[in-house]
Structure 1
Amino acid sequence: MTLDTISVFSLNIRFGLADDGPNAWRFRKAVFPALIEQYPSDFKAFQEVNNFQADDLAAMLPDYDHVGRRTPAPPFWQNNIIFYRRPWQCHHVDHFFLSPTPDIPSRFRKSRWPRQCTLAVFERKGRQVVCVNTHFDFNEEVQADSAAVILDRLDRLELNASTILTGDFNASPESRCHQVFIEGDPEAGTADGRRFRNAFEPPYPATHHGFSGARIGDHIDWILYRGDLRLNCAKVIYHTVDGRYPSDHFPLWAEFHWASSKG
Structure 2
Amino acid sequence: MHISLMTYNLRTYLAQDGDNAWEYRYEKVAAMIREHSPLLLGTQEGNTRMLEDLKLEEYHWIGEDRLGDRGDEHCAIFFKKDELDIVEHGTFWLSEQPEIPASISWDSSLPRICTWGHFRHKGTGTELLLFNTHLDHQGQQAREQGVRLIWERIKELRTAKDVPALLTGDFNSQPDNAVIRFMRGEPVWDDALVDMSDAYSVMVGPIGTSFHDNYSGRMEGEPIDYIFVTPDVQVSSIQIDRRMIDGRYPSDHYPVVAHLIAIEGE
TM-score normalised over the length of structure 1? 0.89
Say if 2:31 is the partner of 1:34. Answer: yes
Counterpart in 2 of 1:99? 95
Matched positions, count: 254
The whole-number CA distance in structure 2 between the counterparts of 1:110 and 1:20 is: 27
Say if 2:251 is the partner of 1:256. Answer: no
Unaligned runs of 5+ in 1: none
Q: CA deviation at 1:260?
A: 3.1
Say if 2:205 is the partner of 1:205. Answer: no
Which residue of 5, 9, 27 maps to 1:8? Answer: 5
Tell me, yes or no, if the aligned pair for 1:161 and 1:227 is still in contact at 8 Å: no
Q: Pairwise CA RMSD of aligned residues?
A: 2.1
Say if 2:81 is the partner of 1:77. Answer: no
The whole-number CA distance in structure 2 between the counterparts of 1:203 and 1:46 is: 24
Structure 1 residues 257 and 213, CA, compared in 2 at 3 Å: closer, same or farther? same
Q: CA deviation at 1:261?
A: 5.9
Instruction: Write the deviation string for residues 20-66 of structure 1: whole angstroms up to 9, x where unpaired.
Output: 10000000012134312321110111100111101112x2x112111
Does 148-157 or 199-208 show the bigger shift?
Answer: 199-208
What secondary structure is seen at the aligned counterpart in 1 of 2:79? Answer: strand
- 1:121-200 aligned at under 5 Å gives the runs 121-124=118-121, 125-137=124-136, 138-157=138-157, 158-183=160-185, 187-188=190-191, 190=193, 195-200=195-200
Tell me, yes or no, if the aligned pair for 1:184 and 1:195 is still in contact at 8 Å: no
The whole-number CA distance in structure 1 between the counterparts of 2:76 and 2:242 is: 22
AA aligned opposite 1:219: P
Say if 2:106 is the partner of 1:109. Answer: yes
The whole-number CA distance in structure 2 between the counterparts of 1:14 and 1:159 is: 34
TM-score normalised over the length of structure 2? 0.88
Tell me, yes or no, if the aligned pair for 1:80 and 1:118 is still in contact at 8 Å: yes
What secondary structure is seen at the aligned counterpart in 1 of 2:200? Answer: coil
Which residue of 86, 96, 99 maps to 1:90? Answer: 86
What secondary structure is seen at the aligned counterpart in 2 of 1:65? Answer: strand
- Percent of aligned pairs with the same residue? 28
Q: CA deviation at 1:71?
A: 11
